[in-house]
Amino acid sequence: MPLLPEIEWSGEHLDYGKSADQEACGGSLEYMDAYVGALKTRLGADPGLRVEYYWLTPEELADECGDGNTGCTGYSRAQSLYAVHPHELVHAVRDGIDPDQTYSFFEEGFASTWGILYDPAFGEAQDRSLISEALAEEFDNDYQLASDWVGYLLAVHGDEPLAEFSDETSWETSYSNMAGEFEQAIGPLESVIDDFVNAPSCPSGILTKSTGIIQCPLSAMMPSGGSLPLDFS
């Protein structure tokens, strides 16, 4: 593993280092710090939890995260090709709360619904009827569907059942164990899937939207530009 760059900036919740040869635009680091603070509050993290964030060169990122990825996170340490990457910040805060994470489709759903939702790298919105198949298989980059699913569950069933499910499962949990824990925490998986597929539209409040907190053409946090709100209530 290559040596990570030195921490060059620390906020209230975040330590930031970079080896990328660009500069983050003004306000980016403060924004990330506030973003982590808002996530900690929403997810009930230990107030002392800190997140490390490294903005790496493409070569370093490939070494750390594997080819084809834009970022990855482990032990509340996020690494990214982007100056600012909310999706990885969600993984990092969740790592601090639940180090073995949860079933992969849900973990990516949490990171996508609270982090980047509209990154074109994540593809187009997906048909909800694909959910049964997506849940049964190894996670296959269907971030949009994972985001839709977890966003729906949070809106309809609330944070606590999802937190309980997360506690009882990990990235390695089998499909059948996942389905059992889901039933315990939330309800019978098949009937919740039916509700999700047949819901006429997204319940209000689950879609994040661009509020322009960071306006910057350089090293945009999302290839599409824009940013995400700090209010997770």
Task: Give the footprint of Zn ion on this chain (CB under 5 A).
Answer: 108, 111
Between 65 and 111, whose beta carbon lies closer to Zn ion?
A: 111
Helix (H, G, I), strand (E, B) or coil at 120: helix
If phi over 0 gives left and psi between -120 and 50 gives alpha, with beta otherwise, what is residue 201?
beta
| Closer residue to Zn ion (CB): 25 or 107 | 107
25 vs 79 by CB, closer to Zn ion: 79
Which residue is closest to Zn ion by CB? 111
Q: How far, in whole angstroms, is CA 56 from its chain's centroid?
A: 19
Tell me the closest approach of the beta carbon of residue 178 to Zn ion, in angstroms. 18
Task: Count the neighbouring beta carbons within 10 Å of the beta carbon of residue 194.
Answer: 13
Nearest CB to Zn ion, comparing residues 191 and 224: 224
Q: What is the DSSP string of 195-216?
A: HHHH-SSPPTT-S-----SS--
CB of 147 to Zn ion, least distance (A): 10
Exposure of 187 in the CB half-sphere (CA atoms within 13 A) = 11
Q: How far apart are CB 39 and Zn ion at their closest, in Å? A: 14
CB of 83 to Zn ion, least distance (A): 18
